[in-house]
Amino acid sequence: MTGGARGIGGAISTVLAEDGATVAVLGLPEDRERTHNLAARLNGAASKIHFYQSDVSIYDECREAVAAVLQQHGRIDFLVNNAGITRDHTVRKMTVEEWEKVLQVNLSGPFFMIKAVLDTMVERGFGRIVNVSSVVAEAGNFGQANYAAAKAGLLGLTKTVALEVAKRGITVNAVAPGFIDTDMTKAMPEAAIENAIAQTPVRALGQPEEVARLVRFLLDEKAGYITGAVYNINGGWYM
């Protein structure tokens, strides 16, 4: 599980640990303490959450973290590609660095992680992969060319890997959240948040736990007939 210490990722880690899964959180150095604090808040499930330092935009770090998880826990049943960043600017103002950084973390990261876990999943004949995309992958969003392109690319990656491993007991799906109440949305200007709520038919931001419940559903052993799918969770903002 990448970026699983806060926001949507923190909610996914919590739901999975409370359901009895052992969760390996792969994250940046700052996430070590956050992961520790998250685990400490869980009654009885604290020992289920472990931190592995890994920048998802660096393939070798993904590979090494996956090898460490396998060595310590013996197997990997699921992968959630959740880590993501924004670097918003209109295309005219966006720097090449901002474009590349977002593509590296939000698109190359999931590719690196999938590449790192796929062999072991294929060997065991079982796996569940969920990629956290975004509503803007399909809708586009002003000032987010890099982010929307990466999240749209992630849908193509999802469907292609789903095809490639469908016969191996591995499912690959994506969730596409709308505006969810996390640090990422808190970074938006207040007027933009109010506008997002006003344009969302259910008139509210989504909660990280709601996305976590959807991800949990797709990771279920019994969800084997769902693959290559994109699940919207956006309060009706885009249908």
* Catalytic positions: 147
In whole angstroms, the minimum distance from the beta carbon of 52 to ligand NAP comes to: 10
Residues 166-205 as x/- pattern, contact with ligand NAP by CB under 6 A: -----------x-xx-xxxx--------------------
Residue type, 182: T
DSSP state of 107: I
Strand 127-132 relative to strand 170-177: parallel, antiparallel, unpaired?
parallel
Query: How far is it, in rounded angstroms, from Cα 3 to Cα 83?
Result: 4
Handedness of CA 216, 217, 222, 223 (dihedral sign): negative
Choices 1-9, 39-47, 66-74, 157-165 (CB under 6 A): range interacting with ligand NAP: 1-9
CB 76 within 8 A of CB 98: no
Please count the other Cβ atoms lying within 10 Å of the Cβ belonging to residue 223: 16
Least distance (Å) from ligand NAP to the CB of residue 124? Answer: 25
User: 94 is written with which tokens?
Assistant: 């966006």
| 127 lies in the binding site for ligand NAP (CB under 6 A) | no
- Of 5 and 79, nearer to ligand NAP (C-beta) is 5
Residues that bind ligand NAP (CB under 6 A): 2-3, 5-9, 27-28, 30-31, 55-57, 82-85, 105, 132, 134, 177, 179-180, 182-185
